[in-house]
Amino acid sequence: MSSRSKYLMIAASLILLGVFMFPIWNINLKAPQYPEGIGLRIWVNQVTGEKEFDLKNINGLNHYIGMKAIEPDTISELKYMPFILVFFIGTGLIISFIKNKKMIFVWILLFLVVMSIGLYDFYLWGYDYGHNLDPTAPIKVPGMSYQPPVIGTKKLLNITATSLPGIGSILILISLSLAAISYFTLKKDKGELNV
Amino acid sequence: MKNRKVLISLFALIVFSVIIYNCSGSGSSGDFSDAASKVYVAPGSYDEFYAFLSGGFSGQVAVYGLPSGRMFKEIGVFSQDPETGYGYSEESKAMLMTSYGFIPWDDAHHPSLSMTSGEQDGRWLFINGNNTPRIARIDLRSFETVEIIETPNSGGNHASPFVTENTEYVVASTRFSLPIPNKDVSISSYKENFTGTVSFISVDKESGKLDLAFQILVPGFNYDIARPGKGHSHGWAFFTSYNSERANTMLEINASQNDKDFIAAVNWKKAEEYIKQGKAKTMEAEYYRNYYDAEKQTAYSEVNRKVLVLNPKDCPGMIYYLPTPKSPHGVDVDPTGEYIAAGGKLATVIPVHSFSKMIKAIEEKQFDGDVEGIPILKYDKVIAGEVEDPGLGPLHTEFDGDGYGYTSAFISSEIVKWKIGTWEVVDRIPTYYSIGHLMIPGGDTKKPWGKYVVALNKITKDRYLPTGPELTQSAQLIDITGDKMKLLLDFPTTGEPHYAQAIPAEILMKNSKRIYELEKNKNPNAVKSEKETRVVRNGNEIRVYMTASRSHFKPDNIEGIKVGDKVYFHVTNLEQDWDIPHGFAVKGLNNGELLIMPGQTKTILWEPKKVGIFPFYCTDFCSALHQEMSGYIRVSPAGSNVPVSYNK
């Protein structure tokens, strides 16, 4: 493995540490009563409000339409996602030293699979959250569900919800790109075995 | 042809005259098209200044925006505020305690912003209670009254609470002299028994805590308005006085006989030295200090019983009298600290004293006798100049920082602009009607913001749609950016505003509190979640620990209350969202309502007198299901055995 592709792979692994520092997904809500906006931040290990009390306030508002309260402690994904991330950081670092092109490929593929499962899981969570409503809720609009979009903007009664990847996701994409470059760099340099 | 031109001209003149005639209601003539754009603050935009107008006999402070003249808020200070429950709730009642008991009203005159280095720092607003002498401190993060201290040995706390350059002190004095200590004497023994006091109330640099540091006994004149010095006159404070005749009846005649009364110049740094030297005597005096504990969200009273008193006879060099024509009212120090302008309300000139001349006259002992050991300085040795033709009844002066003074003239109902140094009147503008105070943003500081002067008028008459015999008071906004003053706006005010203060919005708005953090709520009766709500009986005392959140109370059904019980509702607003207060009101409750801010706990006492079912509800439209935010209390006869129960 060339030193260039090795360093790229090290970078691809270490940049994932940044995912602990930034939200991976942002859901921003706009409503007449919230001129400054109110929002959710989904991290690899927690769900928070955009501002200090946003989560509490979103939960407060959501009870009117019968949505479940978002209680980060009860979302099991938030418990094991950090381990998955640590797994990719660890294996990425190991691969960068083992200099095995196939392993880089597997690493990228596995990462993409896990990401797809993650996104699907996020969709399912949003679906449950938006459809599984308390039948005694005070506000019932026939045919209305409140599933936030995975990506994009959707009008939910008085609220316009916009859901977009956060900096954490961008870091993941950068990591994958670096790994891919590492992979192709190695291809060009095939046969070289110097460390 | 020529005739036709003349005819057209004549016709035009008649039309023009008719237009002029129709427009010439009081002061409504003139072109205001330009003015409109200067006071228009577009929807959603902010005013440039916050203005704080005293409520006068409403006992409150009103907050306005300038230049729009829009009112934002009334702050309960010396008066109970039915809107917020201030002075009604158990947590706030202590704020209105005095040595005479609970007094839910006063006459609030002079708002005064805290300063650092002679400039507004946006921390606190002080205001005096004139009737039962008190001084209040308002926190400008919450816009709430957080402290009220009584000033003992005082009657008519008018010359307060003017702030020294670094808010070391707020000063006060007696408009009405009294026997000190107060006692049962004949009123006609005024000259032998009545004394005035000048008070210095210290302000803690960090917490703002008020303490009556010391009082100075002064001859029994009526001390009217005060201003501390600034810059090189920092360390001194100036108090006007009238009634140097020491009349005790029909003051309007008997106190208007002397050609000159006095400005008392008090060297408070010297007073501090005399206190260090042990020259002060400790006097018995009962006075309250009420303070708001922000963590416990509760006001407490402490009773003080001693005050340090200085007698000028023991303290040479601490006070001098500056002779000043005639029954002076206002005393205002220019931004440099050199000039002290007096509003001799019956005088024909505005006398302006010079601080450095005063110091020189003191050094040269240029005295003209004394009053009870207080030297009287020679008028011509201290006067810097006299503003001639200043209008009738000059009262107060503010400064624009560009070398001009602006003096209100009550009788001739105008503002007169004059130049410092030449003492020439350069402009004048009528006011509608009978202006009292006037205010330039920062016009009493070392760094005036200028731009506007606000006329605070005493008489309104025909300025607005009539509302029966009692009319609103009126303020007027005048542009002072040009050579000529220009009237921009009339706006109504509540109560009777005396003085006012204004500060750039950007200094305050960034610190303005939005909610109280529930986590930091240390009110002993707070409940932080619905799980903790409960109703507890202890003898005939019932305590309801209740929560409010959109759109329900917990509990909302309470039984087991009996006639004769004392029911304390401790209501915590669980919200942590901006501008979501909840109200709480009970049918037949002989007190007021509660208005509870997010994260706050407030308590109201109910002593039910009748048997039956009593609804309670949220009074502040909080949410789409606000109308559903209600509950019932069952009141059973005294002695019945209905157990306490409630739902969760």
Q: Which of residues 17-76 of A touch B (CB under 8 A)?
A: 52-53, 56-57, 60-61, 64
| Cβ <8 Å between B577 and A53 | yes
pLDDT at B4: 60
Chain A residues with CB-CB distance to B515 below 8 A: 53
Q: Are B264 and B236 in contact (CB under 8 A)?
A: no
Per-residue pLDDT, averaged over B587-611, amounts to 98
- Amino acid type, B130: N
Q: What is the pLDDT of residues A146-183, one digit of tens each?
A: 999 999 999 998 999 999 999 999 999 999 999 999 99
B570, two tokens: 């401790």
Residue type, B485: M
Q: CA of A188 to nearest chain B CA: how many angstroms apart? A: 58
Residues of B in contact with A52 (CB under 8 A): 576
User: Collapsing DSSP states into helix, strand and coil, what is residue A50?
Assistant: coil
Name the percent of chain A in helix, strand, coil, to the closest 5.
Answer: 55, 15, 30
How do the domains of chain B map onto residue ranges? 84-220+280-314, 523-646
Chain A residues inside the 8 Å CB shell of B597: none
Least confident piece of the model among A87-96, A186-195, B171-180, B356-365: A186-195
> Phi and psi dihedrals of B352, rounded to 5?
-120, 115
B516 interaction partners in chain A (CB closer than 8 Å)? none
d(CA B618, CA B625): 11
pLDDT at site A98: 85
SS3 B459: coil
Longest dimension (CA), chain B: 107
Look up residue B612 and give its amino acid: G
Categorize the per-residue pLDDT at A2 as very low, low, confident or very high, splitting at 50, 70 and 90: low
Which residues of chain B neighbour A57 with C-beta distances below 8 Å?
A: 575-577
Q: Is residue A195 part of a domain?
A: no
Q: Which residue pairs, CB below 8 angstroms and at least 24 apart, start in A146-149?
A: A146/A62, A146/A65, A146/A67, A148/A27
Please report the pLDDT score of residue B6 as a whole number: 54
Q: What is the pLDDT of residue B583?
A: 98
Nearest CA-CA distance, residue B86 and chain A, Å: 27
Element (H, E) at B352: strand B349-354
How much is the pLDDT for B344?
A: 86
Q: CA-CA distance, B198 to B593, in Å (whole number)?
A: 39
Contact criterion met (CB below 8 Å) for B518 and B528: yes
For residues B167 and B121, give the distance between their C-alpha atoms in angstroms, rounded to a whole number: 10
* Residue A193 covered by a domain: no
- Nearest CA to B556 out of B499, B471, B464, B618 is that of B618
Average pLDDT, chain B: 95
- Enumerate the residues of chain B whose CB falls inside 8 A of the CB of residue A53: 515, 576-577
Q: Do B515 and A60 touch (CB under 8 A)?
A: no
Query: Do residue A57 and residue B576 have CB atoms under 8 angstroms apart?
Result: yes
Closest CA to B537 of B517, B519, B564: B564
CA B65 to chain A, closest CA, distance in angstroms equals 21
HSE, side-chain direction, 13 A CA sphere, residue B519: 2
Share of chain B above pLDDT 90, in %: 94
> ω before B551 within 30° of 0 (cis)?
yes
Six-digit token pair at B389? 């033709």
CA–CA distances in Å: residue B308 to residues B200, B278, B283, B284: 10, 10, 6, 9
3-state SS class at B178: strand
Q: What 8-state DSSP symbol labels residue B94?
A: G
Domain count, chain A: 1
Given the structure tokens 């002061």, which residue do they identify? B27
Short-list A7, A24, A33, A3, CA closest to A158:
A33
How far away is chain A from the Cα of B579, in angstroms, using its nearest Cα? Answer: 10
**Contact, B198 vs B140, CB < 8 A?**
no
Q: How far is A53 from chain B (nearest CA, A)?
A: 6
Count Cα atoms within 13 angstroms, Cβ side, for B495.
27
* pLDDT at residue B62, as a whole number: 97
Rounded to the nearest integer, the mean pLDDT of chain A is 91
Per CB-CB distance under 8 Å, the chain A contacts of B549 are 60
Closest by CA position to B328, among listed B397, B411, B240: B240
- The closest alpha carbon to B354, from B326, B315, B384, B325, belongs to B384
**Contact flag A64-B549 (C-beta cutoff 8 Å):** no
**What totals of helices (H) and strands (E) does chain B contain, helices first?**
8, 46
Backbone conformation region of residue B533, classed left if phi is above 0, alpha if psi is from -120 to 50, else beta: beta
The listed CATH number (3.40.50.410, 2.40.430.10, 2.40.50.100, 2.130.10.10) that belongs to domain B84-220+280-314: 2.130.10.10
Q: Which two tokens stand for residue B24?
A: 């010439």
Question: Residue A100 sits in which domain range?
Answer: 3-188
Q: How far is B623 from chain A (nearest CA, A)?
A: 10
CB B179 within 8 A of CB B185: yes
Chain A residues whose CB is inside 8 A of the B575 CB are 57, 60
8 Å CB contact between B450 and B440: yes
- Residue A158 placed within a domain: yes
Residues B357-362 have a mean pLDDT of 98
- Per-residue pLDDT tens over the stretch B371-409: 999 999 999 999 999 999 999 999 999 999 999 999 999
When scoring A50, A52, A57 by the number of chain B Cβ atoms within 10 A, the one with the most, hence best to mutate, is: A57
Distance from CA of B508 to the nearest CA of A (A): 19
**Residue A194 falls within a domain, yes or no?**
no
Cα–Cα distance between B477 and B479 in angstroms, integer?
Answer: 7
A138 to B625: CB separation less than 8 angstroms, yes or no: yes
Mean pLDDT of A17-44: 95
Q: What is the pLDDT of residues B67-114, one digit of tens each?
A: 999 999 999 999 999 999 999 999 999 999 999 999 999 999 999 999
Interface of A with B in 123-152 (CB under 8 A): 138-139
CB contact under 8 A, B624 and A60: no
Partners of B237 in the β-ladder: B228, B266
- β-pairing, B630-636 vs B557-562, is parallel
User: Is residue A125 in a domain?
Assistant: yes
Chain B partners within 8 Å of A39 (Cβ): none
Q: Residues 6 or more apart from B318 whose CB is under 8 A from it? A: B216, B266, B267, B270, B271, B274, B310, B312
In the predicted model, what is the mean pLDDT of residues B241-268?
A: 95
Contact B624 A139 (CB under 8 A): yes
Beta partners for residue B352, in sequence order: B341, B385
Q: How far apart are the first and last CA of chain B?
A: 96
Say what the pLDDT of residue B23 is.
45
Helix (H, G, I), strand (E, B) or coil at B381: helix
Reported confidence tier of residue B33, pLDDT bands at 50, 70, 90: confident
Instruction: With a cut of 60, say whether residue B292 has pLDDT above it.
Output: yes
Phi, psi dihedrals of residue B532, rounded to the nearest 5° = -90, -5
In this structure, chain B runs to a length of: 648
A53, A56, A159, best to mutate vs chain B, most B CBs in 10 Å: A53
Which token pair is B635? 């009141």
C-alpha span between B628 and A85 (Å, rounded): 48
| Region A48-57 average pLDDT | 95
Please indicate whether, in this complex, the C-beta atoms of B550 and A60 are within 8 angstroms of each other: yes
Contacts of residue B10, Cβ cutoff 8 Å, sequence gap at least 6: none
Name beta bridge partners: B490: B476
The conformation of residue B392, written as its DSSP 8-state character, comes to S
Residues from chain B contacting residue A56 (CB–CB below 8 Å): 576-577
**Listed residue (B266, B287, B251) closest to B177, CA to CA:** B251
Query: Pseudo-torsion of CA B6, B12, B15, B17, nearest 10°?
Result: -80
- Distance from the Cα of A70 to chain B's closest Cα (Å) equals 16
pLDDT at B18: 43
C-alpha span between B620 and B633 (Å, rounded):
20
Q: Cβ contact (<8 Å) for B577 and A64?
A: no
pLDDT for residue B349 = 95
pLDDT for residue B8: 58
pLDDT in tens, B5-32: 555 555 554 544 444 444 444 555 567 8
Q: Which residue of A has its CA nearest to B624?
A: A64
- Cβ atoms of B432 and B463 closer than 8 Å: yes
Residues 6+ apart with CB under 8 A from B145: B75, B76, B77, B86, B95, B136, B137, B138, B292
Q: Which of B529, B576, B579, B625 to mutate to test the interface with A (most CBs of A within 10 A)?
A: B576
User: Does B514 touch chain A if contact means CB atoms closer than 8 Å?
Assistant: no
- Inspect the interface and report whether the beta carbons of B515 and A53 lie closer than 8 Å: yes
Count residue pairs from A and B with Cβ separation < 8 A: 21
The minimal CB distance from A60 to the residues B515, B549, B625 is found for B549
A33 assigned to some structural domain: yes
Name the residue among B403, B439, B405, B443 with its Cα closest to residue B425: B405
Q: Judge whether B577 is closer than 8 Å to chain A, CB to CB.
A: yes
Q: Which of B47, B94, B99, B95 minimizes the C-alpha distance to B68?
A: B47
- Any idea of the CA torsion for B65, B68, B70, B74, to the nearest 10 degrees? 20
B575 part of contact set with chain A, CB < 8 Å? yes
Q: Using the beta-carbon criterion (under 8 Å), do A56 and B576 form an inter-chain contact?
A: yes
Task: Compare B22 and B216 and report the one with higher pLDDT.
Answer: B216
- Is some CB atom of chain A closer than 8 A to the CB atom of B543? no
pLDDT at A187 (0 to 100): 62
Tell me the backbone φ, ψ of residue B621, rounded to 5 degrees. Answer: -60, 100
For B456, the token pair is 């605070």
Distance CA B489, CA A153 (A): 46
CA distance A55 to chain B (A): 10
Contact A191/B at CB under 8 A: no
Residues of chain B contacting residue A139, judged by C-beta atoms under 8 Å apart: 624
DSSP class of residue B571 equals E
Q: How many residues are recorded in chain A? A: 195
Could you give the ipTM of this predicted complex?
Answer: 0.87
Provide DSSP, B175-226.
Answer: SS-EESS-----GGGHHHHEEEEEEEEEE-TTT--EEEEEEEEEESSEEEEE
Are B640 and B525 spatial neighbours (Cβ–Cβ below 8 Å)?
A: no
Pick from B549, B576, B625: CB nearest A53 = B576
Residues A53-74 have pLDDT tens digits of 999 999 999 999 999 999 999 9
Q: Which CATH superfamily is domain B523-646 in?
A: Cupredoxins -  blue copper proteins (2.60.40.420)
Chain A residues with beta carbon closer than 8 angstroms to that of B573: none
A56 and B624: CB-CB below 8 Å?
Answer: no
CA angle at B263 for the pair B262 and B265, rounded to the nearest 5° = 130
Please give the C-alpha separations between residue B144 and each of A108, B103, B258, B312, B582, in angstroms, as whole numbers. 60, 18, 44, 38, 17
Task: Give the residue from B166, B163, B444, B492 showing the smallest Cα distance to B330.
Answer: B444
CA distance B314 to B217: 11
Tell if the CB–CB gap between B577 and A57 is shorter than 8 Å.
yes
Per-residue pLDDT at A100: 84
d(CA B215, CA B202): 11
Token pair, residue A55, equals 């989560």
